[in-house]
Amino acid sequence: MATGIDDEALDRRRKAARAACKSTLFGHGEIKPADQLAEIAQVDGGEVFDRYGEGGVLAELEADVATLLGTEAAAFMPSGIMAQQCVLRAWADRRSATRVAVHALSHLVVHELDALPTLHGLTLEQLSDEPRQPTPADLAAIPGHLGAVTLELPLRDGGHVLPTWDELTTFAQACRDRDIPLHLDGARLWESTPYLGHSLAEIVELADSVYVSFYKGLGALAGAAVAGPDDVIAEARRWQRRHGGNLLTLLPYAVSARAGLRRHLPRMAEYHEVAVALTRALTEAGIRCTPDPPHTNAFRMYAPATDDEINERVLVHLETTHEAVSSSWQPADVPGWSVTEFTVGAATCDTGAAEVAARLTRVVLATEGL
């Protein structure tokens, strides 16, 4: 077992290697802060600052998002955690209900330090704890009055899994039959349209509200939006203010988000196609992938080696070539195997599925020179 000194040395190696990284095989590649800031500095001279959530690029972005999603209104917020708290609290208050149905693997449960129960007094009723999308039967198993039901599309901690279109429409109908608002956690909704085979507006039409992220698949600095009916979004804005999210200006984030929409949204089908091709090539090389084929541009990879072994190979490769081939690996459920998540983006597409699979396999499976 490594000592504290060894752990500190390893941490220094990782930080130094990341700082020297010049390219990646996953995501959109290495984006330097100077490049992001330079893009923000190129705002047209006629544009003005938004002030406390009104006007400027922010208002334009919100209007564009509402149009894309087919909703009456949209509100930009600094983070997805804040955005979903605001809209779910709005639904709960409107329905005089303190219970919200969620998946046990959803971001709301796994990554937010019990924000909804702690800050808003809401009880989270679990639809399922299995790595799959909830079903009408799961909803039926939660009786009584609910403030809202949430679906995370895709379920990231379940392995980036989506329902089929028929499954999604059936679940939405089950919510309508019980007159419960359906809220979509669409942090990666942009990436979900190729698999679902329907437009953003058609997907969102099945629900009562939706949250979307700008910094994941779209590569923006930060930020999120909630969209839905005018009155619900107006109330969510009030909760944004109470959360301290009504900043003097959100111009840098709005400009970055708008650039992400223009740059990456048109390529989502391409990212998904490359993900499908990449998982096929990786499977042939001995790396297992789930879902297979992937539902979005992201999937899990499993390899027959310990996480310490693979992480050391990945780190050495990064130190010697300044190329990052994957994120960190973790122990898988099967002893002797490890797992990580891989997201296809512009950098992956620019390199090509076959070449990415070849480079990744050489490092992860230690086949270099064999």
Q: Which residue has the higher pLDDT, 274 or 39?
A: 274
pLDDT of residue 1: 45
CB 256 within 8 A of CB 40: yes
**Domain formed by 4-33+267-364, architecture:** Alpha-Beta Complex (3.90)
CB 221 within 8 A of CB 20: no
Query: Dihedral, CA atoms, 37, 58, 344, 332, nearest 10 degrees?
Result: 100
* pLDDT over threshold 90, residue 370: no
Task: Measure the CA–CA gap between 134 and 123, rounded to whole angstroms.
Answer: 18
Task: Give the residue-averaged pLDDT of 298-305.
Answer: 98
Q: If we measure between CA atoms, which residue out of 180, 185, 189, 97 comes closest to residue 136?
A: 180
Q: Quick one: pLDDT at residue 41?
A: 84
| pLDDT of amino acid 5 | 66
Provide the pLDDT for residue 269: 98
pLDDT at 179: 98
Q: Hey, which residues does 342 pair with through a beta bridge?
A: 299
pLDDT in tens, 139-155: 999 999 999 999 999 99
338-343 and 298-303: which strand pairing? antiparallel
CATH 3.40.50.170 fits 50-248, yes or no: no
Residue 151: name the closest of 193, 186, 176, 109 by CA: 186
| DSSP tag of 301 | E
Contact call for residues 88 and 147 (beta carbons, < 8 A): yes
Give the predicted TM-score (pTM) of the model: 0.95
- Cβ atoms of 176 and 139 within 8 Å: the answer is no
Q: Any idea where the domains of the chain sit in the sequence?
A: 4-33+267-364, 50-248
Q: What would the mean pLDDT of 208-215 be, rounded to a whole number?
A: 98
pLDDT band at 235 (very low <50, low <70, confident <90, very high): very high
Give the DSSP H/E element, type plus range, for residue 77. Answer: strand 73-77
What per-residue confidence (pLDDT) applies to 326?
97
Q: 46 falls in which pLDDT band (50, 70, 90)? A: low
Tell me whether the CATH fold assigned to 4-33+267-364 matches the one assigned to 50-248. no
* pLDDT, mean over the chain: 95
Query: What is the per-residue pLDDT for 43?
Result: 76
Q: 325 with 278: CB under 8 angstroms?
A: no
Nearest-10 Cα torsion for 168, 267, 187, 55: -120
Nearest to 100 by CA among 145, 167, 52, 33: 145
Specify the pairing of strand 298-303 against strand 288-290.
Answer: antiparallel
Q: What is the mean pLDDT of residues 100-108?
A: 98
pLDDT of residue 102: 98
CA 91/CA 97 separation, integer angstroms = 8
Mean local confidence (pLDDT), 272-297: 98
Exposure letters 317-352 (e unless 16+ CB within 10 A, then b) = bbeeeebbbbbebeebeeeebbbbbbbbbbbbbebe
